[in-house]
């Protein structure tokens, strides 16, 4: 999906988000958002949004809606910026050889994604754990990995699996566990309304899959209140 050539055409807003996901704050060689905006703006999304507005019985030319097609275009570009993130840049210099082999757990990572069936948001928290086999990844990178996959059209199951697979491939740890808890606006807003319904998905690899004790340890971390919470 990623083609760095095409990325020169990214609008500024998207480029900024991509750079933010790829780089640490204060990174000196982070690609700046100041490169000129070029193409990528053929008006097709604007035209399509106007069509939708007309089809639902609205007047796309009334004052409140006049700039909506342009805003929607920019919004979708930003919400799907994850397609343009380069995983190599993301993990650049953040994988370290460390002789640590206990479970590392990063809990309560907030994420926002778009369901690919309705283009409506689903959002919640991600919990990511792995057992290093000689290599660890910088702590701040894990939320960025979540972000890289969340800012795409997704189903929650695939998002969960992609985060787990990515860590498994890049770190070659003894195991990875990922749990996502999310509210889907397409479920909350449509049909029988059940606000507050939370969908939970899990992906377990390696020891997390084979070893009941490892899995139980992971889930016990998630059940416990976070340190510092009253």
Beta bridge partners of residue 16, listed in sequence order = none
CA dihedral angle for residue 37, residue 38, residue 40, residue 43, rounded to 10 degrees: 90
8 A C-beta contact, residue 198 and residue 163: no
Residue 84 known to be catalytic: no
Report in angstroms how near the CB of residue 182 gets to Zn ion at its nearest. Answer: 11
Residue 102 known to be catalytic: no
Residue 24 known to be catalytic: no
DSSP 62: S
**Token code pair at residue 178:** 């990922």
Residue 118 known to be catalytic: yes
Report in angstroms how near the CB of residue 155 gets to Zn ion at its nearest. Answer: 8
35, 51, 116, 172: the catalytic one is 116
Report in angstroms how near the CB of residue 98 gets to Zn ion at its nearest. Answer: 40
Instruction: State which residue has the least CB distance to Zn ion.
Output: 186
Residue 73 known to be catalytic: no
Percent of the chain as helix, strand, coil, to the nearest 5:
45, 20, 35
Sites of contact with Zn ion (CB under 5 A): 115, 117-118, 186
Report in angstroms how near the CB of residue 31 gets to Zn ion at its nearest. Answer: 33
Best CA proximity match to 160, nearest among 141, 179, 144: 179
All residues at 6 or more sequence positions from 175 whose CB lies less than 8 Å from its CB, including other chains: 130, 131, 204, 205, 206, 207, 208, 209, 210, 211, 214
CA–CA separation, 87 vs 33, rounded Å? 18
Report in angstroms how near the CB of residue 102 gets to Zn ion at its nearest. Answer: 38
H helical segments located in 23-171: 44-55, 68-79, 87-91, 141-150, 156-171
Cβ nearer to Zn ion, comparing 68 with 154: 154
Compute φ and ψ for 175, nearest 5 degrees.
180, 160
156, 161, 162, 217: the catalytic one is 156
Cβ nearer to Zn ion, comparing 17 with 182: 182
Compute φ and ψ for 70, nearest 5 degrees.
-65, -40
Cβ nearer to Zn ion, comparing 57 with 195: 195
Residue 186 known to be catalytic: yes
78, 118, 181, 221: the catalytic one is 118
Residue 116 known to be catalytic: yes
Cβ nearer to Zn ion, comparing 80 with 92: 80
Cβ nearer to Zn ion, comparing 8 with 117: 117
Please list the active-site residues: 115-118, 156, 184, 186
């Amino acid at each position: 999906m990623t083609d760095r050539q095409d990325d020169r055409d990214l609008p500024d807003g998207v480029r900024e988000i991509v750079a933010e996901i790829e780089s640490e704050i204060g990174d000196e060689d982070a690609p700046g958002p100041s490169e000129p905006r070029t193409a990528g703006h053929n008006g097709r999304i604007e035209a399509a949004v106007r069509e939708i507005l007309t089809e639902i019985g609205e007047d796309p030319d009334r004052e409140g809606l006049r700039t909506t097609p342009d805003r929607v275009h920019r919004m979708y570009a930003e919400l799907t910026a994850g397609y343009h993130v380069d995983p190599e840049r993301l993990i650049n210099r953040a994988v370290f050889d460390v002789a640590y082999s206990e479970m590392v757990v990063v809990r309560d990572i907030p994420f926002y994604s778009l369901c690919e069936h309705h283009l409506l948001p689903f959002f919640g928290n991600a919990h990511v754990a792995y057992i290093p086999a000689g290599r660890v990844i910088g702590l701040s990178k894990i939320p960025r990995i979540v972000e890289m996959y969340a800012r795409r059209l997704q189903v929650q199951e695939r998002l969960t699996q992609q985060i787990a697979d990515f860590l498994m491939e890049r770190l070659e740890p003894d195991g990875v566990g990922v749990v996502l808890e999310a509210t889907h606006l397409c479920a909350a807003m449509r049909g029988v309304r059940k606000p507050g319904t939370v969908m939970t998905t899990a992906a377990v690899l390696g020891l997390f899959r084979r070893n009941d004790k490892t899995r139980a340890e992971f889930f016990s971390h998630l059940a416990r209140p976070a340190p510092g919470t009253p």
